[in-house]
Structure 1
Amino acid sequence: MNKKSLLLITSLALATTVFVGCGNKTENADSSSNQAQASTSTDESTNKTTYPVSFDAFDSEGNIYTQTFTEAPKKVITNNQTSTELLLTLGLKDSIIGTGDLDTPIPEELKADYEAIPAIANKGDVAKEVVVGSGADLVIGRSASFKDDRYGTIPSLNEVGINTYVQLASKMNTDITLDTIIQDVRNVGVIFDVQDKATQLADSLQTTLDYIKSKVPTNAERKKVMLIVNYSGESFTAYGANASLQKEMLNVLNADNVIEKGGSVSLENIISTNPDHIVYVTANKNAAVDADAVDRILAEPTLQTVEAIKNKNIMTVDYTELMGYGYRTFDCLEKLAEAFYPETFK
């Protein structure tokens, strides 16, 4: 999906399915068990939200907490970049009272709106007391940030009247599909009563996903891929197949991550795994290293027999696209598809 496609109406507004909690807390519940239709949550004739609506939020341990919204949130804190981008794209800039630092440059069309939002975090760290004292009625973002030493645990926020919405794709203890990102868009549309805009975006993402799936050659040999970041030459970091969303992205592309578990790797790991493609992930915090990282990888003498280096099959994507759990994941998926299958995706 290119950025222009975000502005296209791809279908009529559809009735939305939301996640409804069936209890106050469930230990280590599977995300698929949390889905139920809420026939009273939307007015299908007008595509407007009829409050209250309820959703399940989960922490990094998999505990489930029901969140009930009696009206559209008015004072929102976003705990990661992609939740900020989603709210801005849906026209909700006036509802955001605070956000954290950017992992990567924000899209140009959202830059002015983003710069008007106060930053409440310094280098990704934010005290729970700051969140509680802000007057927020919702914190939205990834599960890993709902901790006592960061934005606050879900129960502690609920105790002071702050709801949470946790991105479904950020659930790390279960297999994740790209449909979870599309569902997040629809769910946020329900919560904020902007279903027309959310449906337009969600349908566009679904169209992109269906297109990519229809074009990827599934009868071909699976691609071997390495995802690396912060390349310094001697050592660097790789994202592993244990990252659920990224594993599924590669699976859609008939590809596999050659590194099973993410962490520090070396040039020897590139040589021994011999990937067909290397995806280099850029981030603001690594800007100095990232500037010429690809050139240095391609020029590294010890890597010249590696398939990805021989064929110059190395590309860059930014962290927010690959690791952010947001709608730009589909931009990244399309970029990867074009790089892996240039003859198919002309």
Structure 2
Amino acid sequence: MFRIISQDKKTEARTGEIATTHGKILTPAFMPVATMGAAKTLSSEELEEMDYKLILANAFHLYLKPGLKIIKKFGGLHNFMNWNQGLLTDSGGYQIFSLKNTKVTEEGVNFRSSLDGSSHFFSPEVSIKVQEILGADIIMAFDECLGYPVECKRAKESMERSMRWAIRSKKAHRNNKQFLFGIVQGSTDKDLRRTSLERLEEIGFPGYGIGSLSIGEPEEMMFEIVDSLIPLMPENKPRYLMGLGKPSQLLEMIKKGVDLFDSSFPTRIARNGSCLTHQGKIIIRDSKFKNDTAPIDENCSCPVCRNYTRAYIRHLFNVGEVLALRLASYHNLFYLNHLTKEARKAIAENNFSSFYSLTKEALKG
């Protein structure tokens, strides 16, 4: 499933390849979030145009709407959304535990739909079944997700339950064409994280996610937890840090040896008028761009930067044109994909340390 192609000699950064039934994914790679089966404001064709090979969809939301019956009728989510590349679905755990009035037992979670108030039940077995019907190439074990901060006792109880649910997730997994990843939990406690990883390795998964980070804890704390985990993680399996999408953080985690990332960050900030550039984030609504004839990023080759000016995009935002959201979202996702491509190139050329330093410095603006 996964092979390492090159390893940087000065850092833990590495390039690799994940082979799926829908093609090969070069790592490190960032995944756009297509929660409901689409990256906000963008089409599947546009994501392919940007050269994305792997995107993330949400099992929980798609289970609620349009529902499994409809997606099953189309032969899976790939066909339903006309996506011909790799697809990863998360288990729904994070979304379910974000809801109010959930009832958690050893069996699973009872909750009410945020759409119509109807009652539902998710368990490791239900989550795996849902993800198998969706037909993703990579699926995730069902786990309990905590916020930050959390007491040590609660973190331990949650981690232990997630490990028991990981065993059940694996037992429920039947489709050998789908790769089931385990998820490391344990909040901000390094010992709990280490124990979680050891348990997951005993169960045996082809890849590992690192969950419940980038949820409000200090950035340095997140870095320290990843630093404590990476040396213990199998070298021959992909490492996926869930929910991370800021350029400077991606660079840091690539340097530490992480392979996969996802986040709604680039499209979320785009809808608020924030654009990612090689010199850091800019607020395109700012009055200083009123007469600016430059593109969003003069070092970017995306269609948005080739064809439109900052002044024009600012105007679109100020008059409420939907096109503004599309252009900013397209650019931000193109930028992040380009960033990971450049990182892979630097690693392959054993030049990542220099690339990392120069890029981080430039991002400061």
Task: Mark yes or no: TM-score above 0.5.
Answer: no
Higher fraction of helix: 2
| Higher relative contact order structure (alpha carbons within 8 Å, sequence separation ≥ 6) | 2
